[in-house]
Structures are given as C-alpha cells and as structure tokens.
C-alpha cells in the first residue's frame, strides 16, 4: 500500500506538470510536420532530462541527482517564454525535443551539448543556432526580432522571494528562521537565469514559517552596504544563514530547484519536494519510529504504547501526540491503521485541500504507513 500510494502521488504530480506545459513536445512522428513543413517558425530546445532524486533506505539522504543542470535551469524560463507567446501559437511554435530519448533527431541537427536551442523558419530543414542569453528577456527579444510579434507578459504575481535591504537584512538574519540569500545584480545574466528558479524554490517553502528564501540587490543604494559587509564580489553569490546565527555558510551546490531544495531540507530539517509538496519522511519522528518497530517485531501493544506515551512527553514535535493517538486507537481496533490510511489517501486523491491541511494529511499518512510497512515486512518473514 505504501509503495502504491507513493507511486500514485508521484504520477499525479508528473501528469499535472505535463498537462500545464505551454511548450510543445516534439517527437519523430510530428517534428517534420510541425517544424519543417508548417510554414510557421519555431524555436526548439534539444535537452536531456534529469534523473529524479533517489534516497537511501527511503530516508532523506540524497543518493543521486543526475542530468543536465543547464537544462534544469532553463526549464522554468522556457516554460514562461512559451506561456508569454501562447497567444500567438498560430504564428510561432515553441517546442522541445528530448534528445536523450530521440537521439536521431539530435544527431540530425548536429546537437552535441545540452541544452541546444535552434531557430527554424518553418520552410527549410536548415536551422539557425541560437547563441543569445538564456534569460527570459533575451529569448523574448530574439523571437520578437525574428517574427515582429510583441510578447504579452502576464501580470506578475507577488514574488515569494523576500527582497532584503540594509535594514530588513539585519531584522531577518540571526532570528528564528533558516535564511538562504542570493546576492544579485540587475545586469547579471546568471542572476536572470537563477531568478525563476529562486522564485519557484521560495514558493516551495511558502508553507514553512521557519524558512526564508531571499535576495539582495547588491548594487541598490539601500542594500549595497550589506553586500559589501558580506564580502560579495561576484554574482550571484548565495549564502545560507542558520537559524539564530549571523555567520553565513557559502552555498556552492547546483542551481536547480531540486538541488536548492535538497540543501535547505538538510539544513532546516524540512521535507519539501519539487512543487512544494512533502516527501515520505514528513511527520515521522525517529525516536517514536523505533518504538513502532518494537511493536511490529512482536512487542506487547500495552507495553510499547506506554513507552511511546512516555517518550512523546519530552518532544515538542506536533506529531508526537499523533503517534500516541495511533497506539491508543490500535488498542481499540486492530484494523484502525489500514482503515484510517485509506481514508487519508482518499482525501489526497480527491484533491481540493488547503495547503496546510494537505501537509497535515500527508504527514499523518506517512506516520501510519510506517506501521503498515513494517507489519507487512513481519508477515513476509
């Protein structure tokens, strides 16, 4: 049941992401018709997909995160580009080719690295390489110059990234939050590429009151002093400030959404996934999980339940009481865990839950799943 639920939720997330995409997926069956013979110009990205992060022993210990880092960074920019030109989809195609899966298409057009962007005029099979910047402004300007189509940008939603100045920096650093700060400059191309990733990460942590994703305009008059005090000499410079500390740790990891999430999850003790959801360890308390193992290994329910109650008294974690509740419910009904887990998974599948409620349901499901997973292992022995 645990594995099925995890796969189901992952599949739903993937399907949702794909359904919302404004970028056209190009494959051998439709490439020539759409790109070469339609008479409509097209900007095509040849990319290599990333390999989803895996974990050791189903715990939050990163094992692998492979794939094209530049492709990951370009993805949100390219998606926004396609959304901004969606109104002109009868005049311009913005597409992508998984050149790892469709190697023949990549070889056909001389693709040797990822991501590679090429411009097709819709009439010939000889594309023009795109060698400009990979930020939204550069890509939009290129298309507008080629087609005379003026981009229509959507009204920007309020940013989830906290913009800090000299005053607010001092107010937020060293307090009760784990803070990740990007020091940027308006003219910096790498900063522009990082911007949509930073925004996405900030949204992923919106429901985490003790995590702050922020940025400092290192050249603005009201924040220049902060950048100088932090010894910022290149852009973007990213620094992590632990909760309660003003001493930073340089962030030297990848600049993809997944890489930044992994770093902050490890530092802040959170369990966020791409898209802002929770992973399978959210809600689980290691000390109480060990007590669950005693029960499923054949221990007395009464004795183990008492031990869990005593252990929970010294814990501040909000889910400590839930462990105690589960033990109490098991004392009244042997089938409680399976029945309650089914109910919670039904709520998740139905959708429509407020973010805070969804987090709570996922966390409680994770706790219940430790009981069923270990019980199953015992039966199989």
User: Which residues have a catalytic role annotated?
Assistant: 68, 71, 188, 191
Check if the beta carbon of residue 175 is closer than 8 Å to that of residue 244: yes
d(CA 71, CA 47): 6
* Selection from 108, 124, 109 nearest residue 36 by Cα: 124
Residues 6+ apart with CB under 8 A from 175: 243, 244
Closest by CA to 74, choosing from 237, 257, 260, is: 257
**Beta carbons of 323 and 337 less than 8 angstroms apart:** no
Q: What is the per-residue burial (b if ≥16 Cβ within 10 Å, else e) of 346-360? A: eebeeeeeeeeebbb
Quote the Cα angle for 93-96-98, to 5°: 160
- DSSP conformation letters of 219-285: TSTTTHHHHHHTT--SSSEEEEE-TT----EE--S--SHHHHHHHHHHHHT--B-TTS-B-TTTT--
> What is the number of residues in the chain?
381
Those residues whose C-beta lies under 8 Å from the C-beta of residue 188, and which sit 6 or more positions away, are 235, 236
| Furthest CA-CA distance within the chain | 77
């Amino acid at each position: 049941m645990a594995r099925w639920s995890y796969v189901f939720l992952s599949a739903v997330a993937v399907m949702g992401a794909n359904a919302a995409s404004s970028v056209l997926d190009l494959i051998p069956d439709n490439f020539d018709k759409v790109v070469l013979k339609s008479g409509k110009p097209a900007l095509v990205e040849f990319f290599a997909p990333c390999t989803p992060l895996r974990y050791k022993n189903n715990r939050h210990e990163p094992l692998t995160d492979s794939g094209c880092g530049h492709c990951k960074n370009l993805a949100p920019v390219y998606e926004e580009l396609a959304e901004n030109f969606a109104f002109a989809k009868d005049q311009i195609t913005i597409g992508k080719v998984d050149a790892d899966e469709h190697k023949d298409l990549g070889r056909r057009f001389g693709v040797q690295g990822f991501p590679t962007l090429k411009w097709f005029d819709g009439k010939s099979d000889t594309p023009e390489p795109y060698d400009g910047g990979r930020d939204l402004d550069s890509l939009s300007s290129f298309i507008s110059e080629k087609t005379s189509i003026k981009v229509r940008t959507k009204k920007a939603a309020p940013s989830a990234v906290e913009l800090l100045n000299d005053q607010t920096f001092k107010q937020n650093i060293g307090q009760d939050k784990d803070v990740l700060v990007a020091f940027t400059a308006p003219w910096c191309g790498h900063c522009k590429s990082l911007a949509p990733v930073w925004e996405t990460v900030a949204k992923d942590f919106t429901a985490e009151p003790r995590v702050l994703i922020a940025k400092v305009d290192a050249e603005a008059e009201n924040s220049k002093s902060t950048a100088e005090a932090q010894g910022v000499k290149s852009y973007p410079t990213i620094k992590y400030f632990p909760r309660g500390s003003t001493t930073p740790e340089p962030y030297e990891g990848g600049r993809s959404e997944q890489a930044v999430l992994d770093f902050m999850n490890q530092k802040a003790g959170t369990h966020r996934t791409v898209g802002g959801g929770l992973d399978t360890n959210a809600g689980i308390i290691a000390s109480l999980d060990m007590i669950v193992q005693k029960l499923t290994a054949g221990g007395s329910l009464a004795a183990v339940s008492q031990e869990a109650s005593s252990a929970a008294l010294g814990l501040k974690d909000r889910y400590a009481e839930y462990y105690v509740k589960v033990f109490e419910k098991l004392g009244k009904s042997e089938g409680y865990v399976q029945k309650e887990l089914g109910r919670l998974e039904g709520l998740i599948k139905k959708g429509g839950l407020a973010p805070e409620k969804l987090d709570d349901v996922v966390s409680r499901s994770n706790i219940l799943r430790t009981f069923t997973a270990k019980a199953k292992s015992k039966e199989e022995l």
